[in-house]
Structure 1
Amino acid sequence: LAFTFLWLLDNDRKSCYEDFAHDNVWCGFSSRDFHDMEFILEHHFNKILVAQYNSTTERWTGYTAWGVLSAEKWNEDPDEIPRRRSDMDLLCKPYAIEPNVTLRLEGPSSDSSLVCSVHFFYPKHIRVTWLRNGEEVTSDVTSTDVLANGLWSYQIQSYLKYTPTTGERITCMVEHISQTEPRLYYWDPSLPKSEKNKIVIGACGLLLGVVCVAAGLIYRKKSTGEEPQDS
């Protein structure tokens, strides 16, 4: 993560903001629990790096004459480290957002794939794996890169080549910092809802057709003077 804060310095109102200062904030981590978080704060003046704070050493380093003097002063300030730790918690450890996960079958029956779609999670680091009867699948698996959704959320899709097999259980496992443990999402090999709807619609159409035929026969018999026989 990276942030930039900009200040325009107008010591002389006749000038057109000739001087400006800005701060860069960098947050880096690779673990799921943020234990290796590194927070870097940089002070710049007119595009020149003046001083830098690093949370690993918890010290300032000066890069100009003014920056060296300021770094010495800040490093001797007993309130400086707690202040920067608070900044790191505020800027680098936002609330994690749990992903939204869906499973679907894609493609023709002769060449179909299961798709595990993972959306709206934060932060970016995530692990998506496939399990077959509880064992991790390493072949016939492809995944997209983790992509930004916008509004500080991400998405990823993982694909597994799929041939229905009796007694087989397919699972998409998602691991993310927002979860206390891996989440398992099981594929239900029963008909998708859309197919079930087609069956229901077809049955209703057949029933309607039978009713229309029966009504037509009754009307025809009445119009010819015949009474329908009781069964």
Structure 2
Amino acid sequence: MLTILCSDMRRAAVIILILNHCAFSEIAHEIVRFVGCFDNGTTEVLFEYDAEEILYVDFERQELVYTVPPFLVSDPSEMFEGLRVYIDAVKGKRVCSAVLTFFKLEEKNPPEEEDPPESVLYPAEDVQPGVENSLICFVNHFYPPFIKVSWTKNGHPVSEGVSLSRYYANNDQTFYQFSTLTFTPTEDDIYSCTVEHSALERPRTKIWEPEFSHQSQGPDIFCGVGLTLGFLGVTAGTILIVKGHHGW
């Protein structure tokens, strides 16, 4: 099993753990190889046998140095007989250095922070049935500066009459953009604007339906009735005055 442990990258160190299981007797034992590489260019490789250090690699002298006490194991090299310990240690050194370089680059070049867009959908002019108008999908406060805008009418994709403006920069280093759909509003039509951006988990859709203002005829009717009653009142009053004048 191979495990990579990264310590605080301000000290730029990577430790690779390689576990091996062996059985020199009926009892299973565990050998762990540690490969540590550091920002100053040094690399350390050591082996543990059942959680006790048994040897380390001296790369300057190109040899293995056994640290197990002689009274415990008379010849610890026998434990690694047939294994290419030093050759594997050199390979581990190369791997560890490559991993260290990768993490250092990741630290210096962290992924860019992304800002998800906000969007609003509205008509450019007052909506009147049968009168050509424009729907504006205003997309704001997004980064990086790339969005995809798509339109639908009554659930069907629309491409005719669609335009997309260039990107404009906000003061907070985000961007905004307009997409416009030219249309002629009729009742019961439903339009939608869908925005896709890398900072969004899923596309964001705004829906718009035309609302026509039907002017009520009530005030005109009431006004007509009032005028009619007024005329009737004037007529009735005139007749009474005439009757009184002639002594009827």
Normalised by the length of structure 1, the TM-score is 0.46
Higher Cα Rg: structure 1 or 2?
2
Normalised by the length of structure 2, the TM-score is 0.43
